[in-house]
Amino acid sequence: MSRDVTMRVARPTDRLVEVVRFYSQGLGLRVLGSFRGHAGFDGVMLGRPGAPYHLEFTRQQERSAGRAPTEDHLLVFYLPDVEQWHQAIERMRSVGYQPVPSNNPYWDQFGRTFEDPDGYRVVLQNAHAA
């Protein structure tokens, strides 16, 4: 694969506005694009400029996406800089998201887990700060 490849993780949601708030205001991702009414779908793409990944959240009209099937559906962000890790956790807390106990105790030992409005979880990991 070439170096300009971007991986996009796409996921449906029933709570598009709330999920975008979690990932943008909480995690600090930027809205990279959006669409409305495309074949019955609305969506928002989030990420960081230059990062090799995007997240896409879509809402399909007249169809429910439901909640996360388990507590182990995770996105893990490895933040090796301790100060950056502390800042990321504080940003989540400052907009109203509190850490939740992880189903896998490893993530509580080496990170903090947050649950998005759909029940999917995000781990902010730092092996040296926890």
Confidence of residue 49 (pLDDT cuts 50, 70, 90): confident
- CA dist 76 and 50 (Å) reads 18
Confidence of residue 65 (pLDDT cuts 50, 70, 90): very high
Q: What is the pLDDT of residue 5?
A: 82
Amino acid at 14: D
Comparing 7-60 with 74-125, is the CATH topology the same?
yes
Fold type of domain 74-125: 2,3-Dihydroxybiphenyl 1,2-Dioxygenase; domain 1 (3.10.180)
| pTM higher than 0.95 | no
Report whether pLDDT(47) > 70: yes
Q: Where are the domains of the chain?
A: 7-60, 74-125
Level-2 CATH architecture, domain 7-60: Roll (3.10)
